[in-house]
Amino acid sequence: MIDVAAEVRAAEERARPHLLTTPVVPSVGLTAEVGSPVVLKCDNLQHTGSFKARGALSKTLALTAEERGRGIITASTGNHGAAVAHAARIVDAEALVVVPDNANPSKLAMIERLGGHIHVHGSDSVETEAAARELAEERGMTYISPYNDPQIIGGQGTLGLELLDQVDLPTAVYVAVGGGGLASGVAGIVKSLSPSTRIIGCSPVASAVMYHSLKAGEILDLPSDPTLSDGTAGGVEPGAITFDILAGVLDDFVTVEERDIRQAFLDLIEVEHMLVEGSAAMAYAAARAHAGMVEGTTVVILCGGNVGTDKLREILDA
């Protein structure tokens, strides 16, 4: 198994000049409900609007000039693709992003604004990842995984390193889980520095492939239903290194219904004055579901803020 803490420290050294230190703010709503302090780690304010910039910068800056020169290709439902396009522009490389046919249009527009090129394939993240790997072989491009890479995981973990400078020994951290890169990186570094902190994974009931895989003890090939938490939607790549990492570091796992994600989205706007995407609202809803079960300071990671006006109208009008 990889040394996650070492990967995080290496990523911190590489990527820090290009990263924002995102704020931690008190959660008025959850603190009142839970009865103990809850804070929000606002990576919705990171470059490109999500934590994904951390991993993409970590990986891209670690590539050789020859690897960058061949062009970069990745697979994404949106946020990782935008982050790779952003990182590629910094190192003056071309970026091609393979996306599923149900990807969020506002996220695709952001990829293109950042200079990335889009190739549509399949309807699930596992299909797009396989297609991106095949295209990388055919075209001689450098493939960057959304999560199945030590340097990506290390980059995402810089959020946890940053967090521990901002919050003294948090009791619990709620983190969204799709492929598991963010949770692996954050848990790896936080557990190494604050072993008593509980790391709680969160996924929507509609697409909880990692949750069911961890329960089964193996990576499963399961269908996913549509979810507001599109950033965590889809399957897990066979052989993903995040599976074994999460099996060893997650203390608990919460799955969240769509109605609760929608309510959390509305409460984040009305009570917290925060506009986020569905995966961030899903983590907020998970913390609410655990109300009264955690003492001390709880952290909810708001992992992204990329929500389009069409999706916003859909949620507000529901």
| pLDDT, tens digit, 9 for 90 and up, residues 199-219 | 999 999 999 999 999 999 999
The residue from 111, 144, 177 where one domain ends is 144
CA distance 182 to 187: 8
Residues 192 and 295 in one domain: yes
The residue from 101, 117, 144 where one domain ends is 144
Residues 106 and 12 in one domain: no
Going by their DSSP bridges, the two strands 252-256 and 198-204 should be labelled as: parallel
Determine contact, residues 278/257, Cβ cutoff 8 Å. no
Residues 177 and 101 in one domain: no
The residue from 110, 144, 178 where one domain ends is 144
Domain, as residue range, for 292: 4-51+150-317
Report how many helices (DSSP H) and strands (DSSP E) the chain contains, helices first. Answer: 14, 10
Residues 172 and 305 in one domain: yes
> Is the pTM value of this prediction over 0.75?
yes
CATH code for position 287: 3.40.50.1100
CA distance 271 to 266: 8
Q: Which of these, 279, 185, 186, 274, lies nearest to 231 by C-alpha position?
A: 279
Residues 47 and 170 in one domain: yes
| pLDDT, tens digit, 9 for 90 and up, residues 70-113 | 999 999 989 999 999 999 999 999 999 999 998 888 889 999 99
Domain count, the chain: 2
pLDDT band, residue 308 (cuts 50/70/90): confident
Cα 308 → chain centroid = 18
Residues 202 and 154 in one domain: yes
Determine contact, residues 159/194, Cβ cutoff 8 Å. no
Half-sphere CA count of 267, side-chain side, radius 13 A: 20
Residues 105 and 214 in one domain: no
Average pLDDT of the segment spanning 48-72 = 97
Residues 188 and 138 in one domain: no
At residue 201, the pLDDT reads: 98
Average pLDDT of the segment spanning 247-257 = 97
Residues 77 and 91 in one domain: yes
Residues 271 and 259 in one domain: yes
Residues 305 and 214 in one domain: yes
Q: How far is CA 100 from CA 39, 114, 130, 210, 251, in A?
A: 34, 19, 11, 19, 32
Average pLDDT of the segment spanning 23-27 = 98
Residues 177 and 195 in one domain: yes
